[in-house]
Amino acid sequence: MYLSHIFILMLLLPLTADILLWFVLPRRKWRWISLIPNALMLVFFLISAILESKEADSQICRMWIISVIVTLCTAEIILLSFLLISRIFKKRRLLRRSIIVCGIGICALFLVYMLYAFTLGQKQYVTTELELTDRRIPKSFDGYRIAFISDLHVDTQHGTPSTIDSIVNYINSTHADLILFGGDIVTHHSGQLDEFITPLSRLSATDGVISVLGNHDYMAYTSWNSDEERLRDIQRLVSMERGMDWKVLLNRHRTIRRGGDSIAIIGVQNDSERDDARHPRFGDLKKAMRGLNDCVFKILVSHDPSHWRRSVVEKTDIPLTLSGHTHGMQLSLPFVNFGALFFREYAGAYHEKDQMLYVTSGIGTSLMRARFVAWPEVVVVTLRSR
């Protein structure tokens, strides 16, 4: 979700709640008093946004402020909406009370939903199994398993490396031949990775770990003394990933061999539709594919799913693209498509003729430390030779 949408949401939620309160509360004195809690929450949010800090504790505090504002204001709006509706039926007391009780019940269910999302939801890892059959997959790669993960945002686990340990154990339990990482290992700066190098170095697959950079990995979500300092931090992050024995692809490809057969993993830098400082467009697919045989089976790892429709579909012969970035919106409801309001492709599989995009919900969180339905996801792709 774009930051401008989040900022508008932070303004609209308290404002909507206060407007409803103004109509529900009968006395003017109570109306003015009712504005105080929402006003304070909004002030806290604005202060946290203005006083941007590189410290992990400050960033986590900001996430919790946003989470509290969204949760309490939404619960307030739900309850007040039912109270306002009940006022239409002043003369029908039983119906009015039933509406109020219904509102209280739905409000309570919402708070339980959010409580689960803030606690157990972040640790409810799921594995999505995909099977891809293609004539270009060599017989020696039939049954080859690839684990794809994205958007770790390890800073949201600050002070709890044991959580990353459990994530690593879960990924390793897939017994993949290759692990692909789709970017956004941190949110603000490379220092956020320091305490997690040891557990992440334990990620294990026969052909190792291949990674790309996500939009957050370009360090534009925090302040720097100069652009040179920011660029040095990007280089530090890349060096840290390589120090964990990850193969970082920056508009490059890597060939995986089985005897005389091979497949190619193509990795591009972040390539976003918006093309601004926080969503840069540095992907160079032509450069990344240079030297590849047309007949070789190719898998593209590109952080932003919008890259697929702009640069891959009908422009290349890449059958499978793996992306992240959207987090599956983190909070969702069964059969309710919130993500379509913000992204054309935001979660799951998308097809255009013989080309496929899979957008994972990712592992970590951003903006809000909560997940519901859009659970932390490990995608396992099994290749099948036709």
Tell me which of 88, 118, 148 is where a domain ends: 118
Assess whether 258 and 173 both reside in one domain: yes
Residue 204, judged by CB atoms within 10 A of its CB (0-12, 13-18, 19+), counts as: middle
From 95, 118, 141, give the residue that closes a domain.
118
- Residue 2: the pLDDT is 44
Let me know whether 47 and 191 are in one domain: no
Q: Quick one: 348 and 372 in the same domain? A: yes
The number of folded domains in the chain is 2
Considering the domain architecture, whether residues 171 and 147 belong to the same structural domain is answered as yes
3-state helix, strand, coil in the chain (%, to 5): 45, 20, 35
Whether residue 97 is found in the same domain as residue 184? no
pLDDT of residue 48: 60
Radius of gyration of the chain from Cα atoms?
A: 23
pLDDT at 80: 78
Q: Is the Cα torsion angle 65, 66, 70, 76 positive or negative in sign? A: positive
Q: Of the candidates 136, 177, 147, 181, which has an alpha carbon nearest to the alpha carbon of residue 319?
A: 136
Same domain, 359 and 374: yes
How would you write the pLDDT of the chain (386 residues) with one tens digit per residue? 444 455 555 556 666 666 666 666 555 555 555 566 666 666 666 666 555 555 555 566 667 777 777 787 778 778 778 877 887 887 888 888 898 889 889 989 988 888 888 888 888 899 999 999 999 999 999 999 999 999 999 988 765 678 899 999 999 999 999 999 999 999 989 999 999 999 999 999 999 999 999 999 999 988 899 999 999 999 999 999 999 999 999 999 999 999 899 999 999 999 999 888 899 999 999 999 999 988 999 999 999 999 999 999 999 999 999 999 998 887 776 666 666 777 888 889 999 999 999 999 999 888 777 787 788 999 999 999 98
At residue 59, the pLDDT reads 61
Nearby residues of 196 by Cβ (< 8 Å), 6 or more positions away:
154, 157, 161, 164
The pLDDT value given to residue 1: 43
pTM for the full model?
Answer: 0.83
Q: Do both 193 and 52 map to the same domain?
A: no
- DSSP H/E element including 275: strand 271-276
Residues with Cβ < 8 Å from 307, sequence gap 6 or more?
268, 271, 272, 283, 321, 323
User: What CATH number has the domain bearing residue 172?
Assistant: 3.60.21.10
Q: Are residues 140 and 256 in the same domain?
A: yes
Cα 339 to Cα 337: distance, rounded to the nearest angstrom: 6
Domain that holds residue 219: 124-385
Q: Are 159 and 232 found together in one domain?
A: yes
**90 and 180 co-located in one domain:** no
The DSSP symbol for 199 reads H
